[in-house]
C-alpha cells in the first residue's frame, strides 16, 4: 500500500525508540521494519495529524520517501480515515486496538518516585547495600516508593531464588524495607544459563526455545549468551511464575522488573512450542506482568491500554539524543501507542557507566534530567541526589519533585482516564491543540488540555522560547498571558531550578 502525504501532514510510527525522529513530514526519508522494535516497545500503528491511520495486528514495514509512504506486511494494511486531527486518529485506534483495563499500576508508582539499585550498586548488590541505599533515601527526606533490587540478587539466571551469600535473610530485609515505606520489586529476565540446574531439567521438559533441529537455542544478550524460556508453552510460563509467586508468598516481594524479552524471531531459526507470529513472544512475556500490582518492562509489543509500567531504553549521561533530548520525544511515542504508564530512563541516565569516578558528574545535566522526568507519568531514580549534588543542585531537584507533588491530583485524574477511557496522560501538543502549528514540538508536552510543559534541555541555557496554544495561560511564576488562537511564542528567562509549566486558566 502506497499513499501520499496530505499538505502539512505529520505522521507518528509505532516504534518508540524512534520517537526522536518523529513526527515525520513529507521532506524526510525514513524506513523501519516493525518486526525489529527492540530496544524498546512498539505496535503496528501509524498515526497522522490529519486524522488518518494504519493499524494492524502484525508488524509491517514502513518506508517514507519523497512525500510518499509505503506500508508492506503479511497482513494486508489499510489506510483509514477517522476525522481531521491526530486525536481523531488516536481515539479510533484506541477503540479498536487498545485494552480497556479499568485499572492502572499501583498508585504508589505515580505518587512517589520509583527507585532502582542499578547505578548505585551495579552487579555487586547485597542485602547490606540495598538497606543502606533505602535508609539513605529516607534519611535525606525522600519519599519512599517502589524500590527495585536489580541484577544479581538471585542464585543464577533462571533460578529465581535469593543468593543467600549476598542476601542471608531476605525476609528480614524486605520487612525492614516495608517498615520504611517501600514496596519491593525484583529484577528478572526470561533467560536461563545454558549449563547445570535448571537448564538440564528445562531442556529435557522442552520448556526452552529450540533450534529447528530440536536443540536448545542460544541467544546473545548484554550479559552473555543464554537459553530462553518458551513463553508459548504454558508449562514454561508456570515455571517462571511459580518461582515469582513463591517470592511474594515466602518473603513479601511486591512485584517485578521484567527486563529483556526482546522479540526473538529475527532470523527464522527459532522453534517454539506453539507457532506464533512475529513479536508475539514479546506480547506473551508482557502479559505475565498483568498478574502483579507492580510490573515494569522495557520491551513490549501491542500492549496498548494494559496496566504495566514501561521504562525507556537505558540512556547515556549526555545532553544529546543519546541521553536527555531523547526522553520527551520517545515518551510521546509511547503515549501514542497506548503505553500510558511510562517513565523515562533513570534520572541522570541508566547506563552502568554513567558514574565515572575519574570524571565529575554533570550536576546541571542531572537536574535537567530530573526536571524533564518530573511530570512524566512515572519518574525513576537510581543515583541518589543527596550524596551526588551540591546544595543548589539538590534543591533544584527537590523543587522539580515539589511541582510533581503539586500537580499530583490532576495527574491521578489523568491516570484514571487512561485506565477507563485510554486518554493519554502525557501527550504531544498536537493531540489536544490541533492545527495551531505545534505538531513539530518535540521537547515539550501536554498533560491533558490543561498543562503545557517545556523542560530545559540545553546546557547553560538562561533564556527560552515557548510556543503556546491559543487561550489564557498562567506561567510557572504566576504571570498570566493571553495567547491568540493559532499559537504564539513567548520568551522567558530561566534559572537552574525552573521547570517551565504553563496552566490553562480559561474555560477548558
Please give the Cα distance from 329 to 416 (Å, whole number): 23
pLDDT at 268: 74
252-305 residue pLDDT tens: 999 999 999 988 876 778 899 999 999 999 999 999 999 999 999 999 999 999
Please give the Cα distance from 454 to 467 (Å, whole number): 9
Could you give the C-alpha distances from 393 to 403, 487, 497, in angstroms and in order? 16, 33, 8
- How does the average pLDDT of the chain come out, rounded? 95
pLDDT at 292: 97
223-242 residue pLDDT tens: 999 999 999 999 999 999 99
pLDDT at 76: 85
Tell me the β-bridge partners of 229: 208
Please give the Cα distance from 149 to 19 (Å, whole number): 29
Q: pLDDT band at 311, cuts 50/70/90?
A: very high
Q: Where along the chain do its domains lie? A: 1-97, 108-189+233-411
Q: pLDDT band at 357, cuts 50/70/90?
A: very low
Q: What is the pTM of this model?
A: 0.96
Q: pLDDT band at 77, cuts 50/70/90?
A: confident
Query: Which of 98-112, 201-215, 350-364, 382-396 is least confident?
Result: 350-364
> What are the strands, taking DSSP E only, across 121-207?
146-149, 154-156, 159-162, 183-188, 191-192
358-385 residue pLDDT tens: 567 899 999 999 999 999 999 999 999 9
Q: Which residues contact 250 (CB under 8 A, 6 or more apart)?
A: 171
Q: pLDDT band at 140, cuts 50/70/90?
A: very high
pLDDT at 174: 98
Q: Which has the closest alpha carbon to 427: 53, 63, 94, 30? A: 94
329 is written with which cell numbers?
Answer: 520525544
pLDDT at 360: 75
491-505 residue pLDDT tens: 999 999 999 999 999
pLDDT at 499: 98
Tell me the β-bridge partners of 208: 229
163-190 residue pLDDT tens: 999 999 999 999 999 999 999 999 999 9
Q: pLDDT band at 486, cuts 50/70/90?
A: confident
CA 69 to the chain's CA centroid: 27
Residue 84 has pLDDT above 60, yes or no: yes
Q: At the topology level of CATH, where does 108-189+233-411 sit?
A: TIM Barrel (3.20.20)
pLDDT at 241: 98
Query: Residue range 205-234: average pLDDT?
Result: 94
Residue 18 has pLDDT above 60, yes or no: yes
> What are the strands, taking DSSP E only, across 89-200?
114-116, 146-149, 154-156, 159-162, 183-188, 191-192
Query: Which of 13-27, 212-226, 363-377 is least confident?
Result: 212-226
Amino acid at each position: 500500500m502506497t499513499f501520499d502525504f496530505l499538505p502539512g501532514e505529520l505522521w507518528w510510527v509505532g516504534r518508540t525508540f524512534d520517537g526522536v525522529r518523529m513526527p515525520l513530514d513529507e521532506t524526510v526519508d525514513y524506513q523501519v521494519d516493525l518486526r525489529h522494535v527492540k530496544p524498546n516497545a512498539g505496535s503496528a500503528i501509524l498515526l497522522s495529524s490529519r486524522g488518518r491511520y494504519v493499524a494492524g495486528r502484525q508488524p509491517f514495514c514502513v518506508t517514507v520517501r519523497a512525500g510518499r509512504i509505503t506500508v508492506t506486511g503479511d497482513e494486508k494494511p489499510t489506510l483509514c480515515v477517522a476525522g481531521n486531527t491526530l486525536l481523531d486518529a488516536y481515539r479510533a485506534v484506541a477503540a479498536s486496538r487498545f485494552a480497556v483495563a479499568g485499572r492502572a499500576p499501583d498508585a504508589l508508582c505515580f505518587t512517589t518516585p520509583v527507585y532502582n539499585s542499578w547505578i548505585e550498586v551495579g552487579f555487586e548488590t547485597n542485602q547490606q547495600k540495598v538497606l543502606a541505599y533505602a535508609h539513605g533515601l529516607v534519611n535525606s527526606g525522600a519519599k519512599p516508593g517502589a524500590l527495585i533490587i536489580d541484577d544479581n540478587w538471585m542464585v543464577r539466571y533462571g533460578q529465581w531464588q535469593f543468593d543467600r551469600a549476598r542476601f542471608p535473610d531476605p525476609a528480614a530485609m524486605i520487612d525492614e524495607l516495608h517498615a520504611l515505606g517501600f514496596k519491593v520489586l525484583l529484577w528478572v529476565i526470561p533467560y536461563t544459563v545454558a549449563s547445570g540446574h535448571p537448564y538440564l531439567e528445562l531442556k529435557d521438559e522442552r520448556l526452552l526455545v529450540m533450534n529447528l533441529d530440536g536443540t536448545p537455542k542460544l541467544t546473545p544478550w548484554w550479559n552473555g549468551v543464554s537459553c530462553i524460556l518458551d513463553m508459548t508453552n504454558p508449562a514454561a510460563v508456570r515455571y517462571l511464575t511459580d518461582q515469582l509467586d513463591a517470592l511474594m508468598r515466602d518473603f513479601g516481594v511486591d512485584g517485578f522488573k521484567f527486563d529483556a524479552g526482546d522479540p526473538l524471531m529475527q532470523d527464522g531459526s527459532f522453534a517454539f512450542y506453539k507457532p506464533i507470529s512475529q513479536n508475539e513472544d514479546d506480547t506473551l512475556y508482557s502479559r505475565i506482568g498483568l498478574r502483579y500490582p507492580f510490573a515494569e518492562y522495557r520491551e513490549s509489543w501491542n500492549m496498548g491500554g494494559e496496566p504495566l509500567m514501561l521504562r525507556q531504553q537505558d540512556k547515556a549521561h549526555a545532553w544529546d539524543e543519546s541521553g536527555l533530548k531523547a526522553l520527551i520525544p520517545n515518551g510521546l511515542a509511547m503515549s501514542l501507542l497506548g503505553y500510558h504508564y511510562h517513565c523515562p530512563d533513570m534520572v541522570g541516565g541508566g547506563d552502568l557507566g554513567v558514574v565515572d569516578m575519574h570524571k565529575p558528574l554533570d550536576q546541571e545535566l542531572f537536574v535537567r534530567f530530573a526536571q524533564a522526568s518530573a511530570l512524566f507519568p512515572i519518574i525513576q531514580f537510581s543515583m541518589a541526589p543527596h550524596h551526588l549534588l551540591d546544595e543548589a543542585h539538590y534543591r533544584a531537584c527537590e523543587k522539580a519533585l515539589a511541582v510533581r507533588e503539586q500537580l499530583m491530583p490532576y495527574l491521578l485524574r489523568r491516570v484514571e482516564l487512561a485506565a477507563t477511557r485510554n486518554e493519554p496522560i502525557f501527550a504531544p501538543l498536537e493531540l489536544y491543540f490541533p492545527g495551531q502549528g505545534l505538531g513539530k514540538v518535540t521537547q515539550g508536552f501536554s498533560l491533558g488540555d490543561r498543562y503545557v510543559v517545556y523542560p530545559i534541555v540545553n546546557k547553560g541555557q538562561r533564556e527560552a522560547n515557548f510556543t503556546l496554544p491559543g487561550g489564557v495561560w498562567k506561567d510557572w511564576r504566576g504571570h498570566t498571558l493571553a495567547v491568540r488562537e493559532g499559537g504564539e511564542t513567548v520568551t522567558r528567562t530561566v534559572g537552574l531550578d525552573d521547570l517551565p509549566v504553563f496552566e490553562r486558566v480559561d474555560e477548558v
